């Protein structure tokens, strides 16, 4: 008797865009070392993909190369690293000549508002599709392994036109369609209907990229993922660490994962990427807050200072009797619970004017030893550059990175105007 073929069960994966959309946020930025550390943390956390930069931005070139080398060395694996460019053949040509990027997201506006308001009558809807498919064709010809196509302002785009756009992308061998709720215009109900319609018509895996202009970003993100999975295709939710992003931000990475793992409609019903390890959340969120110089909101899900705090008598009594009375998930799941040790006596820090004795003292505390004075001096010089580069004291994980990957660090610090 022939075996019945098991039906494919779609999966929800996470694509973090902190190093692309997050760093586009007005008034904040990350250094190239800090962006690399974010990639390292994302990889440790089991995140499927990092949209790690802009291949056509000159000051990103060495950073992109450095991270590709880390991937080749096995330090940034298995995470997928992808670049972002406009969906035009000229950008694909330049990106594939200037960098060794292997995965690309190609972006173009699709709504009537943006075709009229950005392209100013110079392009039709048909021109938009033609420009996108030409870019996809060239990317595939140049050996790009994974090509995603972004429909900017998808939530304000005519739905049948969006289907035509998605079909054209699929016919030209694009691997994914990114549905961009660019202005946070969708709500959980509209995005579910729209993405389910597209996914059923086209059968293409869908990225869900939402913004928080109306405070709905996590709800719309998971509703969009539910729609894709319900239609039988994989879903890729776009997130940023701590919800950083343009204007009111993007979907917070930890909040999205917690919602899928613990909300009543998702828990045990939808398949989340099994590689995800939430225990790295606390470390990554606190590092990103330090790097961005943006405090984590006190009420941030999972990692906020009040996420597991109880003061009301009824609540405190209930939580002490059984944490499940007032806590939906455990703080240990997020890597919380260990006391934070703060030195209140003498402290030696590493900066741009550090000397060799103080520097070696710091590394000895990290249990890192140098084979000789020459090697110590070499890493000290890198630490000085890191301080100038970050404009902040160099923290423990960064110091470890400098010692382990000195040549990569040199590349990160090198910018050629």
All domains of the chain in start order, with CATH: 11-287 (3.20.20.70), 296-334 (4.10.430), 356-406 (no CATH)
d(CA 261, CA 278): 10
Q: What is the pLDDT of residue 366?
A: 77
Structural tokens at position 10: 């779609």
d(CA 208, CA 222): 8
Q: Say whether pLDDT at 219 is over 90.
A: yes
Q: Specify the higher pLDDT residue, 337 or 202.
A: 202
390: phi then psi, degrees, rounded to nearest 5: -85, -25
- Write down the H helix ranges in 207-355: 217-230, 253-262, 281-292, 313-321
**Which residue from 149, 215, 208, 395 is spatially nearest to 287, judged by alpha carbons?**
395
Structural tokens at position 406: 């000195």
Residue pLDDT, tens place only, 45-59 = 999 999 999 999 999
CA trace torsion 217, 293, 75, 15 (10° rounding): 10
Structural tokens at position 224: 């969009």
Structural tokens at position 312: 């009301």
Query: Which pTM does this prediction carry?
Result: 0.94
Structural tokens at position 345: 């006596």
Alpha-carbon distances, residue 283 vs 183, 256, 269, 338, 374 (angstroms): 30, 17, 29, 11, 32
Spatial neighbors of 403 by CB under 8 A, at least 6 apart, are 363, 368, 379
Q: What is the pLDDT of residue 347?
A: 59
Q: Say whether pLDDT at 235 is over 90.
A: yes
Termini Cα distance of the chain: 68
Residue pLDDT, tens place only, 138-150 = 999 999 999 999 9
Of all residues in the chain, the percent with pLDDT exceeding 70 is 93
What is the band of 351 on the pLDDT scale with cuts at 50, 70, 90?
low
């Amino acid at each position: 008797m022939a075996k019945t073929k098991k039906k494919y069960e779609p999966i929800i994966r996470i694509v973090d865009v902190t190093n692309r959309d997050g760093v586009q946020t007005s008034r904040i930025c990350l250094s190239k070392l800090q962006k690399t550390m974010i990639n390292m943390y994302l990889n440790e956390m089991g995140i499927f993909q990092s949209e790690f930069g802009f291949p056509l931005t000159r000051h990103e070139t060495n950073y992109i190369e450095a991270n590709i080398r880390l991937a080749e060395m096995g330090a940034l694996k298995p995470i997928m690293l992808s670049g972002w460019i406009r969906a035009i053949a000229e950008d694909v040509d330049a990106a594939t000549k200037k960098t060794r990027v292997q995965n690309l997201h190609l972006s173009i506006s699709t709504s009537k508002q943006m075709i009229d308001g950005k392209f100013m009558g110079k392009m039709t809807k048909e021109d938009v599709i033609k420009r996108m498919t030409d870019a996809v064709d060239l990317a595939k010809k140049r050996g790009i392994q994974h090509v995603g196509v972004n429909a900017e302002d998808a939530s304000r785009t005519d739905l049948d036109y969006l289907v035509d756009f998605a079909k054209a992308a699929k016919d030209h061998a694009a691997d994914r369609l990114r549905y961009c709720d660019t202005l946070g215009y969708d709500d959980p109900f509209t995005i579910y209907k729209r993405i389910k319609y597209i996914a059923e018509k086209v059968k293409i895996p869908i990225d869900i990229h939402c913004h928080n202009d109306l405070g709905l970003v996590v709800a719309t993100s998971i509703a969009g993922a539910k729609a894709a999975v319900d239609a039988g295709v994989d879903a890729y939710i776009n997130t940023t660490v701590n919800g950083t992003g343009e204007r009111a931000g993007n979907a917070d990475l930890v909040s999205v994962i917690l919602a899928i793992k613990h909300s009543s409609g998702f828990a045990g019903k939808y398949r989340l990427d099994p590689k995800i390890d939430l225990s790295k959340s606390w470390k990554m969120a606190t590092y990103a807050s330090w790097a961005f110089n943006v405090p984590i909101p006190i009420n941030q899900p999972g990692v906020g200072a009040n996420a597991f705090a109880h003061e009301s008598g009824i609540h405190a009594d209930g939580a002490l009797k059984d944490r499940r009375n007032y806590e939906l998930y455990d703080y240990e799941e997020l890597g919380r619970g260990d006391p934070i040790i703060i030195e209140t006596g003498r402290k030696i820090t590493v900066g741009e004017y550090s000397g060799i004795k103080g520097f070696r003292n710091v590394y000895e505390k990290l249990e890192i030893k140098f084979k000789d004075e020459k090697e110590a001096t070499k890493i000290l010089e890198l630490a000085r550059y890191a301080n100038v580069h970050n404009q902040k004291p160099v923290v423990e994980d960064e110091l470890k990175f400098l010692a382990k990957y000195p040549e990569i660090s040199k590349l990160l610090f090198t910018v050629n105007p």
